[in-house]
Amino acid sequence: MLRRRTAIIVVAALFTAALLLSLFTHSTGVVRNDPARNIWIPPELTMPVELQVAYNDAQIFFHYRWPARQPHVFTDLLRYSQGKWQRQLSTPIGSDPDGIYEDRLAMMVDDGSVPEFQRYGGYITVGANMRDFTGSGPDAAHRRKYLPATRRDPNEWYSIVDQATLESQRRAGYFLDLWHWRAHLSNPLGRSDDQHVAWYRLYDSGEPLFFSNWDVDKGQPRWMFDLESSGVRALRWEDVAGGRRDESQPYYLLAATAVPFDATHEWGEGDVIPGQVLREPSGSRDEIRVHGEGRWADGYWDVTLVRALDTGHPLEDKVLRDQGVYSIALSVHRDARASRWHYVSLPLQLGLGRQAELMATRFSGPTPDWSRVDTREVTLFYPGQVSWKHLSSARHAGSKYIAKGVPVKYRHKETQLAQYGVEMEFDREIRRQWALSLIAGVLLVASFVFSVSLLFRHRED
């Protein structure tokens, strides 16, 4: 039989051990990847992007530099396997296991015509049940970004306002300019794709930078590499799997040099041809260019984009002016991830010669001297599955601040938002575990105090 004093020590030790165990193991055991529910959590929840901005009388230059362990320059590959050509149609959940998804950098720009964007950034474009959200269903592939006022009910994707209203909104500047640099589909052309977000994520007018190489009827590619100029008819799967790139071989198919697909050729297992053919764009789609070369080296992408301050397409591109202040928000896809598995920034105010969070440097001449331009490190974060519907609902404690127009930065940091984004994806599981932990803690204290009260009151012989 234990002595009273020993029993007290054992009980106290049990209690202390239980407390320490709870402390050292807390917040674990729930968050795990679950592809069946479209859940995949990146190992790093935040990442930096270095940003420099300079402008002259006619053009504005954005220089971006961001870390990436390796470049991913392939996307949408057609692969000959088991005697037929196959196309991967589904978006990878998280990092593509074969490393086949291109790196991307996007930037949304506004001139103040979308006031919520200045305060909440890209969150306002994320409606309810967006594609690749948990439980969004197989019919959600088309549910992409849109602006709240383009819907009668901002939380209902299908309640689009009438065409006349959409056109009036566009004339009033109610859209976000979207610069979209892509390592495969735009960089080889020395371009960035040019899009905008209004009732949908739309492409600017003009000829696109790429078109599909997939012949649906025949189930085979339309075009292939020219053996004479490229040295190959097709790439080999083992050369590209994992995102690798053989520098001696082409990694994109160019309309100007591609040749019609030869179905009579004896194709071998693992032959690979790009699923998109690049071409020279035109019109508003051709306004953003890569200055110099967008390239990856030593673990970093360095990309400089340049565009006219006024492209002459005011219904698709935001017109930028000296002494203007604009809002921008960045996003990066890396590590062969697509769709919502990206990193995003909070909105950042950009001043062209005016005081702002980041002041663009004015220069004269054709190109800026980047050594004289301020560098701003912007923290990007994994946003999880947080929709504008949730943020503006009573369920979000900050919705009353949103109603008052309080900017997101006033209440939240990027690291915090990243963590909140992850917890939102496991909301039900974490709440259950949290409630059980709360009860267990109460019972533990009650059990301990009951035990020591018995032992304290009991005197030794």
Partner 1 sequence: MGPYHAIMVHFPVALWTVASGIIFFRAFSDGSLARAFDRVLVPLLLIGVATGVVSYTLGLLVWSPDTLQATPLGRNHMIAASWSLCTWAAILFLRWRVGEMVWEGRVNRLIMVGFGALGASQLAATGTLGGHLHGAPAYLSELMRVFGWDVYHTFYSPTWVLLVLAVAIVAMPVLAIVTTRGRAARSQRQEASK
Residues in contact with partner 1 by the rule CB under 8 A = 1-5, 7-12, 14-19, 21-30, 394-397, 410-411, 415-416, 419-420, 423, 427, 430-431, 433-434, 436-438, 440-458, 460-461
Provide, rounded to whole angstroms, the least separation between the CB of residue 140 and partner 1: 23
Provide, rounded to whole angstroms, the least separation between the CB of residue 407 and partner 1: 12
Contact at 8 Å (CB) between 151 and 161?
yes
> Which neighbouring-strand residues pair with 283?
none
Please report where in the chains the tokens 């032959």 appear, as a residue: 271
By C-beta, is 375 or 437 nearer to partner 1? 437
Provide, rounded to whole angstroms, the least separation between the CB of residue 440 and partner 1: 5
By C-beta, is 1 or 36 nearer to partner 1? 1
Provide, rounded to whole angstroms, the least separation between the CB of residue 406 and partner 1: 9
Distance of CA 142 to the CA centre of its chain: 17
Q: What is the DSSP letter of 359?
A: E
**Which of 206, 369, 343 lies closest to 288, judged by CA?**
206
% helix / strand / coil in the chain, to the nearest 5?
A: 30, 25, 45
By C-beta, is 24 or 158 nearer to partner 1? 24
Provide, rounded to whole angstroms, the least separation between the CB of residue 393 and partner 1: 9
Angle at 299 between CA 293 and CA 304, to 5 degrees: 25
By C-beta, is 27 or 375 nearer to partner 1? 27
Provide, rounded to whole angstroms, the least separation between the CB of residue 19 and partner 1: 8
For 390, the token pair is: 């949730």
d(CA 245, CA 74): 8
Q: How many C-beta atoms surround the C-beta of residue 41 within 10 A?
A: 18
By C-beta, is 366 or 441 nearer to partner 1? 441
Instruction: Compute the residue count for the chain.
Output: 461
By C-beta, is 5 or 295 nearer to partner 1? 5
Beta strand residue intervals within 7-91, DSSP E: 46-55, 59-67, 77-81, 84-87
d(CA 170, CA 316): 8
For 450, the token pair is: 């009951």
d(CA 213, CA 85): 12
CA atoms within 13 A on the CB side of 15: 18
Provide, rounded to whole angstroms, the least separation between the CB of residue 220 and partner 1: 51
By C-beta, is 9 or 227 nearer to partner 1? 9
Contact at 8 Å (CB) between 270 and 81?
yes
Provide, rounded to whole angstroms, the least separation between the CB of residue 20 and partner 1: 10
By C-beta, is 68 or 406 nearer to partner 1? 406
